[in-house]
Amino acid sequence: MTATGRRTIVLTGASDGIGAAAARQLADTGHRLILVGRSPEKTRAVAEETGAEHHVADFARLDDVRSLATRIDAAVGDDGIDVLANNAGGIFGDRTPTVDGHEKTLQVNHLAPFLLTNLLLPHLLRVRGAVINTSSVGHRLFGHLDLDDLDNHRRFSPNKAYGDAKLANILFAKSLHERFHARGLSAVAFHPGTVRTNFAADSSSIMRLVYRSPLRHVLLIGTDRGGATLRWFIEGTPGETWTSGAYYDERVLTTRVNPQANDPVLAEALWQRSAELVGLPAAED
C-alpha cells in the first residue's frame, strides 16, 4: 500500500453481480482498480462507469488466464498488488469439459483463480498483499471433494460440482495462509450471502428455479449488499478486520463448515493436484 493508503486492487468477476457492485462502491475511494470480466461489453461498461482499468478473460480457457496474468504483470510493473479478489465463478449445466479438458465448474471457480493467484504471487508478496476468495455456503450443503475424481466423472451434478469448487476456494485460502503468511501474505474465503444475480442462469441446477422465480425477492439479497461485503474484505486490514486463513459467512467468522474444510492434509493434496492440472510446479512455495 502506498503512503497515501491507495491500494492496487485486482477484482475478477467484475462485469456483473457483486463484483460490479463492489467496483462501483470502490470507484471514488482513490484506489487503483483493475477489473477482470468475461464479457468485453459488460466489463468495459463497468470500467468506464468506475474509472477503472480493465481486462477481459474467459476462465474456461487457461491460456486466457495466463495471458491475463502477463497483461496485469505489465500494467503493475514494479508495483505490488495489494488485493487480489478471486470473485469470478458460477454454477453451470451438464458436465461439459473445457478446452483444457476439465469440468467447467471446477475450472472457472477454482483452477483458473488458483493459476492466476500463483502467477501474480510475486506482486502480492512484494507488498504483503491479500487474496480474497468468494466462496459459498454451497460448499457445506453440496461439497465433498474426491481428489481422484475432481472432475466428478462418477458423481456429477451441477450442485455437487459447485459445492466442490466452493470448498476448494476455502482450502485454497487456507493453503495460501499456511504457505505464505510468514512472508506477509494474507488470505480469506467468504460466503457473500445468497445474492440475486444471474450466476445460475446457465445451470440445470434446481438453484436456477429459485433465481428465476418470484421467490428470489424473498430468499435472496441484493447485489449491493453482497458487493458491500466483498468491499468490506477488500478494504479491511488482515489481522484486524478479518483473520487470515479463515472462512466467513458474510462478515461473521463461522465454524459451520464442511468438515473437509478443516483438513490440512486434504488442503495440501488439493494444492498439489491443482498445480499439476494447471501446469505449475507442484512444490512451489
Provide the annotated active-site residues: 162
* Locus of grid cell 468477476: 13
Q: Smallest Cα–Cα separation from 83: which of 127, 113, 135? A: 127
Counting Cα atoms < 13 Å in the Cβ hemisphere of 281 gives: 4
Please tell me the total number of residues recorded for the chain in this structure.
285
Give the H or E element holding residue 86: strand 83-86
* Locus of grid cell 477503472: 52
Q: Phi/psi at 62 (nearest 5 deg)?
A: -65, -25
Counting Cα atoms < 13 Å in the Cβ hemisphere of 190 gives: 28
Asked if 43 and 21 touch (Cβ cutoff 8 Å), the reply is: no
Q: Smallest Cα–Cα separation from 104: which of 115, 86, 91, 117? A: 91
Q: Quote the cell numbers at residue 66.
A: 495466463
Q: Quote the cell numbers at residue 6.
A: 491507495
CA separation for the pair 192, 34 (Å, rounded): 21
CA separation for the pair 109, 167 (Å, rounded): 10
Close Cβ partners of 112 (under 8 Å, ≥ 6 residues apart): 59, 60, 62, 65, 88
Close Cβ partners of 45 (under 8 Å, ≥ 6 residues apart): 15
